[in-house]
Amino acid sequence: MSSSTVEKNYALSRDRYAEAGVDTEDVLAALGRVSLSLHCWQGDDVEGFEKSRTGHAGSGLAVTGGFPGKARNVQELRQDLHQAFSLIPGCHRLNLHAMYGEFEKGPVERDAIEPYHFRGWVEWAKQEKLKLDFNATCFAHPKAASGFTLSSRDRDIRKFWIEHVKRCRKIGATVGRELKSACIHNIWIPDGSKDLPFDRWTHRALLKEALNEIFETEYSPSQLKDSLESKLFGIGSEAYVVGSHEFYMGYAMTHGKILCLDMGHFHPTESVADKISAVLQFSDELLLHVSRGIRWDSDHVVILNDETRALAEEIVRGASLDWVHLALDYFDASINRIGAWVIGARAVLKALLIALLAPARALRAAEEAGDGFSRLAAMEDARDLPYGAVWEQFCLRSEVPAAGRWIDDIKEYEKKILLKRQ
């Protein structure tokens, strides 16, 4: 579609939204301030670049599929990320895991990693005009084979992982200082039991003790922000997860940390969207990992479905865009990995756009007047408003392809780059 056609369609849509009391220019400005944090691990199937890493089924991760051309080293991953970011409108972030450092001089144990192992990522982020977030990697390692890390009964195992997370926080603070944007350091651990435990208390007490030790070192919030991510169950921890939602919510609220809600880490009948306004009554910030669960698997590519739209609606309706951090978290090796990044990011941005374009004034007035009929009717009519033309305008202003052409760009990259990797 030509730029002149996009402009023409946008002008018509702008007028239509104006009739509904919505200023599309204000909406585009608000959407332009949103920064998604893309997950690096989609690009290489959560393998990382540790030369001697040993995976374990008990890590709670399973990537399916074998699409050709996955990134095999840091350079290829950065190349693929550059391609992905070029097709996502707006200015965004990259979310790194500790196992993605540059260890050219040989394997480095996780309790010995240093900021200089990620110096190359910082320089690359500066060139790409990106900011970085960071994650401790407490899985896929021999010292995670028992199914317990920070909550292990083995003092030496626990000490190893505590030191690892301490070093990851130091790296995150360094990244945040270098890039002049607070780095969110997120902790997720696979700790739990495949079958029914006798004692649920002890591991949670040990995890609390470990977190207290980890957070003894304080960093400026302008450099580092800490978040804690729960899970309902994982592979190898179906019966008991130490870091449950209730555990981390309690810890975050009493220790000034950010709670991370992953859309795929709750029961299928639970609404993560409904939790947002509840958590933000008691916390200044919230981290959301946007994923898509299907049956037991929580890590499918995000699409513009009801759950994603509901999430965006709750963020926007609660005026929480400035307090909610949005990150993608899924991995799919059955399709083009770059395409998976772009589909998910564009879906989240579209969901936010639709939410921002809702005739909020009319809907709020109807609700406050107790007019349930008018509220529901207006919600239904809002579904017919032409958000697609506004989305195309956002892409045009971001110098990013809109519908159709971005798919061709990925297929061309696949042909020229990915299929040639052996």
**Res. 60: pLDDT tops 60:** no
The pLDDT of residue 57 is 40
DSSP at 154 = S
The pLDDT of residue 56 is 46
Give mean pLDDT, residues 223-244: 94
Q: Which residues are catalytic?
A: 188, 229, 231, 262, 265, 289, 297, 299, 329
DSSP at 50 = -
The pLDDT of residue 299 is 87
**Res. 105: pLDDT tops 90:** no
Question: Rounded CA gap, 320 and 308, in Å?
Answer: 16
Considering the chain, what is the average pLDDT of its residues? 95
Question: Rounded CA gap, 150 and 148, in Å?
Answer: 7
- What's 23-356's CATH class? alpha beta
Does the pTM surpass 0.85? The reply is yes
pLDDT tens-digit series, residues 252-285? 999 999 999 999 999 988 999 999 999 999 999 9
**Res. 55: pLDDT tops 60:** no
The pLDDT of residue 52 is 55
- H/E stretch holding 299: strand 297-300
**Res. 59: pLDDT tops 60:** no
Which DSSP string corresponds to 210-239?
HHHHHTTS---TTTEEEEEE--S--TT-SS
Which residues, 6+ apart, have CB-to-CB distance to 88 below 8 Å?
36, 38, 341, 342, 345, 346, 349, 400
Look at 3-7, 121-125, 128-132, 205-209 and tell me which has the smallest mean pLDDT.
3-7
Domain ranges of the chain: 23-356
The pLDDT of residue 5 is 92
Give mean pLDDT, residues 300-322: 96
Question: Rounded CA gap, 17 and 30, in Å?
Answer: 16
**Res. 115: pLDDT tops 80:** yes
